[in-house]
Amino acid sequence: MTENREDERIKSAMNRTMSGLEGNPYLARRVVTVSKGEVKVKKKLSFVTVMTIALMLISVTALALELSGWKIADYIRNVGEGKVDENFESGFNQDLTLDFEGVRFHVRDAYAAGNKIIIVTEVSCLKNETTMILPSETICDPDVTVARQYIKELAGVDDEITLSDYAKQKGLSMIHVYVNAQQKGTYPIVSGDEWIENDTTLVSITSANYLEVENGEVEVEWEVGVFDDSSDDPLTTKTLDFHLPVENVQEIEIDVQQTVTAGDILVSLDRMVLLPTRLDTQVELYYHTGSRQSAEQLLEYRFIAIDPSSLSFLDEGSFSSGPEILDMETQSAYMRDFWTLGGPLETDKLYLQLLPVYSWAKEGVEMDQGLQDVQIIKINIPEKD
Amino acid sequence: MNTVVAKGPAITRDEKLEALVDRYQVSLLKVCFTFLHDRGLAEDAVQETFVKVYQSLDSFKGNSSEKTWVFRIAMNTCRDMLRSRWFRFVDRRVDLSQLPEQTAQLEDGDKEIMESVMALPIKLREVILLCTFEGMTTYEAADALGITQQAVSSRLKRAKEKLKKELIEKGCDLS
């Protein structure tokens, strides 16, 4: 009886928390179209996904590359095929190491610019050379996760071999670790990825945004931990705070003041702020509409950067998970959206379309395409001083 | 005497698909979101599931229930996505902020329960999703996950113990 009540409590809590999730009214039609091969399926990416992908677009071929000792630019250039300058150096030169629970955590590289911190952490065992280091079980279950996704040397090896089976074959034990880095005292969006450079070394890359700079620096809270399921407290962590210089980025603020319609809703794109770093271009958009009700409808629309000649999205798949309503009190509703274009800013114009989330469900339209019958906004980007 | 049996018009494959999408789309979206921690990926997983369903509609023999069959495809799709390169870019935190505003009134502890379920290891999360959230029997969940009933029962027990412990630490009671 108690168990039933507990089950009901869990189920109701989950249903209520996810009660805003709605189905896609075009899904059945879309499925039929996709099944008949008329539309290519592309992955839809969330805001956090895009934030990191913009920096670290990994390709499967990268699994065959030599990864040892790589820093931020190596990952972006070689793994992500990003447009990073050959001579890019983050300039990070601090020796930061934490030895903890028999594991060594070492900051290999770090970079802060615009609105983002990126940290590369190397994790290895202090003594035991037969321990494979893995991310937390919540994101990497060794019985489910395929080894070649994490270990580049395994390219060409059995595609389906799991990390557990791989470890067994190699006589390795496994431990799970935790790595996070963010501005101290904040709760930013944190994304990350992990690679295993060799059987006993894990590399973790984390990216956190919502940076607030003070005296040209940001105080980074680097938190590392080791999981031990046999313990009452399965995760113990240790924190090291350090200061990271923030590269100066010239913010470009553009007074746009252009109107566009989304269905019947008139939208005014007021302002755009660009933060062009040496790695990417971070874009913030501020816009408003006439009422809260319209603003809620606008949550289902995105401003997307496009190439007007081909109508393709500039940064393929660069959707955010959604804009936010800034002003809930007054009649007018002010909104903000934030996303990243891959690569440094190399153009003096940016073209945007305001597209419905499900625009790709229209027949004959691919997910990474704008729509022919939708207004294009041209924004002139002033030259940097 | 010959009997003539009146037959209704045959249901087309597209109509079958539409009925399945109507019936399962939203619950699959919830299950996939809890599994993958990402709304965009969950939407992809649901679409991918129905593409596979549509492509194998003719080969579905009814050896398991329609629901078990659809969820088996969904769980395998989520697992595949978990293995794929796309998943690894996802925010490692349990983040409910990407969920749209709730249409139902939240009760105290709802978010803590949701976060705790999402933070469970994958194998434990799967059984909570199928048995507790979707109300499947251990037999059905075993069929959907391709594991034994015994494994489902044991994982379910461990999952609930872990959940209770987590929730007690957060000052939240399941009863």
Identify which has the larger pLDDT, B74 or A74: B74
| Residue in B closest to A53 by C-alpha | B89
* pLDDT band, residue A315 (cuts 50/70/90): low
Same domain, B53 and B107: no
Whether B87 and B150 share a structural domain: no
Assigned domain for B138 exists: yes
Closest to A13 (Cβ–Cβ): which among B47, B48, B110? B110
Distance of CA A364 to the CA centre of its chain: 29
B2 within domain boundaries: no
**CA A51/CA A190 separation, integer angstroms:** 9
Instruction: Please tell me whether residues B48 and B94 are part of one structural domain.
Output: yes
Domain count, chain B: 2
pLDDT in tens, A143-179: 877 776 665 544 445 556 788 888 898 899 999 998 8
Residue B5 inside a domain? The answer is no
Ramachandran area for residue A81 (φ above 0: left; ψ -120 to 50: alpha; else beta): left
Together in a domain, B17 and B94: yes
Residue B12 has pLDDT above 50, yes or no: yes
What chain A holds in terms of domains, given with CATH numbers, is: 47-245 (no CATH), 252-380 (2.60.40)
Inform me whether the C-beta atom of residue B151 falls under 8 Å from chain A C-beta atoms.
no
The reply to whether residue B88 touches residue A58, judged by beta carbons under 8 angstroms, is: yes
Q: Which residues of B touch A194 (CB under 8 A)?
A: 88
**pLDDT tier, A200 (very low <50, low <70, confident <90, very high otherwise):** confident
Residue A100 has, within 13 A of its CA and on its CB side, a CA count of: 20
Q: How far apart are CA A225 and CA A44, in angstroms?
A: 32
Q: Are residues B75 and B145 in the same domain?
A: no
Q: Are residues B108 and B162 in the same domain?
A: yes
In a domain, B3, yes or no: no
- Residue B41 tokens read as 């990926």
User: What's the rounded Cα separation, in Å, for the pair A261 and A249?
Assistant: 33
Give the pLDDT of residue A318: 38
Mean pLDDT of chain A: 77
Smallest Cβ distance to A48: which of B86, B91, B135?
B91
pLDDT digits (tens, 9 = 90+) for A45-92: 343 443 343 333 333 233 334 567 888 887 766 655 566 777 889 999
Residue B159: domain span:
102-175
Whether residue B110 sits in one domain with residue B62: no
**Does B154 fall in a domain?**
yes
What distance in Å separates the CA atoms of residue A146 and residue A142, rounded to the nearest whole number? 8
Reading the block at residue B29, the tokens are 């979206």
**Last residue within a domain, chosen from B85, B100, B115:** B100
For the beta carbon of residue A68, count every other beta carbon within 10 angstroms: 11
> Of B49, B66, B100, which residue is a domain's last?
B100
For residue B63, being part of any structural domain is answered with yes
Q: Between A64 and B166, whose confidence is greater?
A: B166
> Rounded to whole angstroms, how far apart are CA atoms A267 and A290?
8
Interface touch B122/A138, C-beta < 8 Å:
yes
Which of residues B4 and A27 earns the better pLDDT score?
A27
**A235-245 sheet: strands from edge to edge:** A131-134, A173-183, A217-227, A235-245
Nearest to A120 by CA among A74, A166, A172, A58: A74
Query: Given B47, B69, B100, which residue is the final one in a domain?
Result: B100
Q: Are residues B141 and B95 in the same domain?
A: no
Q: How far is CA B11 from CA A34, A379, B17, B57, B114, in A?
A: 21, 51, 10, 12, 39
Q: Does B14 touch chain A (CB under 8 A)?
A: yes
CB–CB contact B38 A49 (8 Å): yes
Q: Which CATH number belongs to the domain containing residue B79 in this structure?
A: 1.10.1740.10
Query: Are residue B133 and residue B92 in the same domain, yes or no?
Result: no
Q: Which residue would you say has higher pLDDT here, A300 or B92?
A: A300
C-alpha distance from A5 to closest chain B C-alpha (Å):
7
Q: What is the largest CA-CA distance in chain B?
A: 74
**B71 pLDDT more than 90:** yes
Residue B115: CATH number of its domain = 1.10.10.10
Return the pLDDT at A253.
Answer: 93
pLDDT at A66: 52
Task: Give the helix ranges, DSSP H, for chain A.
Answer: 2-17, 27-35, 47-56, 72-74, 163-170, 292-298
Q: In this structure, are B44 and B92 located in the same domain?
A: yes
pLDDT for the residue A227? 85
Q: How far apart are CA A301 and CA B105, in angstroms?
A: 26
